[in-house]
Each structure stands twice: as C-alpha cells, then as structure tokens.
Amino acid sequence: MKIAFFSLRKFDELTLLQEFKEKYNIDFVCTGEYPNAENLKLAQGCDAISVVPCKFTEEYVDIISSLGVKYVLARSIGYDHLPLNYLREKGLRVSSVTYPPECVANYAIMLMLMATRKVKQIMQRAVCQDYSLRGKMGKDISDCTIGIVGTGNIGNCVIKHLSGFGTKILAYNKFGETEETKKYAEYVDLETLYKNSDIISLHVSSNEETYHMINDDSINKMKDGVIIINTARGTLIDSNALIKGIKSQKIGAVGLDVIEDETGLYYYNHSSDVLNNDELAILNSFPNVIVTPHTAFYTETTVRNMLEKTFKSLVHFSKNDDNPYEIKL
C-alpha cells in the first residue's frame, strides 16, 4: 500500500512518516506543495492521498480517480474543504482524523485570558517602552459568564478546564446534553447564551447550518462589550458583521485562530508579500483583536496523532474493516 502526502512539512512530519512506514508497512511519496492539477500526478500508483485543509476541486477528484486512487485521507479534524458528494459519486472513500482535545481547548482558554487582560495592547505598547497603565485595565475571567457553543470533545474539554477558574459557564449543543458537561455548565438555548455571556467561544463544525452563525442578528443579541473566541472554523463568523461590531464597540475583544478567507494564506511564509486579504489586514489593525494563524492544533502530541491515524485509516480501508475515521454521509 502507498500514500501520496501533499502539503507535507519536512521539518516535523517527515521523521514520523518514516516511523509509521515501518510500523504499518505502508510506503509513501510526498511533496510540500498543496495539491494542484499538475502535482496530483504524484499519486500515480498510490492507494490514497493525504491532504490538509486546502482548495480541492471536482477536477482534482477526477484526476486522482483516473490515477486509481481509492481513498482520500484528510490529516485534519475538519473536512469541509473536500467535495464529499462528488468523491462518493466517483467511488472514493474519505476519512479524517481525531486528536486529543486538550490542545485546542487550552488554546481557546489562552485566547480568553489574553483578550480579557488586554495582552495584545500591553505587549505592543511595551515594545515602544510605554509602560503606563491607561487603557490596559482588564477583567478577571473568574468574574465572567462564558458561553460555550458546541459541547463535543473540544467544547466539553474547554468547559472542564474552565471550571477550575470558578467562572459561570453556559453551554449550547444542537445534538443534546451530556451528563458530563452538566457537572460544570448549565445548558441553555442559543439565544439565552448570546444574551447572557461575557465571553462566547465557538466549538462547532463548519457546515451549511453553522455558516455565518455569528452575524449581525446574533451579535445584536449579545451583551455590549462581548468577547468572541473562535478556534473552530472561520466560516462560522460573518467577517463584515464582526468588523462592524468591533468598530461600534458592541464587541469588546476578539480572539481568532481562524478567519473566513484563509485558504492559501496560512502555513506559508508571506513576510515579503503584499497580501490580498482585507479581512486579515482590518482585524490585525484593531488593538483589541488577537489573530493567530490556525495553530491551536499544533503540538507534538497532535501531529503524531494526525499522522498515525492517517496510516491507521488506510489499514482499516484496505481490510474493509469498520473504519472509525471514515466520513459517512
């Protein structure tokens, strides 16, 4: 068996690939480039390709299908970048990966702490040797009501870890309540969560239903000065509505690890480029907005999990086992 890895990072993934090649007896080829109509030829003779979130069109599906590829293995929890229906039409099976929720959960809490304590302003002004206190007064997270939207693995982990801060926690989950979460949080409907939360943190998947769930209408229902945290997917937030809310001071602070239009932006060195991304430029201009480049997942443990489960997924597919990582409609 053989996998073609695209967007492979040689500095942290390649050594692990060598390890798992021996462990699972699965060969691989790789490139550091995102998939495109030309480099997909690399998958000739491979059973599967592995991709991270990227542009992946129906044309690309046609190409890999013609090369005999049977499986698409996403090295990410999210898979909204893949044209699932068309992949199924062409007879390809698809999987994603899971990893321990602590990495993203703790990162979300870090963004909450940085936003409430105005860390961006403090650090920027310290660079200019401005050590005065005016404008730097924050609020204690323990005095806040925090609303968690989505209580899957990551959302529930955020709630458990936040419980140690003594904060009041509200939770909303479309798919029902869990007894574990109810030990630490009060389940409410989404409108109640918006209305009563000082901080709102998003932990839901990107799909048609959640697209732009944070919009003009939902922001208007929130507390004045609300803090919004997003470590899930950028498409959950209408960027124009977010920017409008920041400008009007309806939104007091924002912590984002994802933005709406990040394809082709993150994971590249653009230090000498003029970026054609108005959203990022405007958000970065605000002193009360923290934007990090989709790195909440990025720990040693997570990278190992993502790669090993990619290999495990191909093993399951090849044996026609019930694959726990397969994406099923």
* Residues in contact with 3: Cβ distance below 8 Å, sequence separation at least 6, in sequence order: 26, 27, 28, 29, 46, 47, 48, 49, 50, 73, 310, 311, 314
DSSP 17: H
Say how far apart CA 123 and CA 242 lie, in whole Å: 24
Residue with tokens 């509200």: 170
Of 123, 168, 96, 164, nearest to 326 (Cα)?
96
Say how far apart CA 309 and CA 311 lie, in whole Å: 5
CB atoms within 10 A of CB 216: 13
Say how far apart CA 287 and CA 120 lie, in whole Å: 7
* Residues in contact with 61: Cβ distance below 8 Å, sequence separation at least 6, in sequence order: 83, 86, 87, 90, 92
* Residues with catalytic function: 233, 262, 294
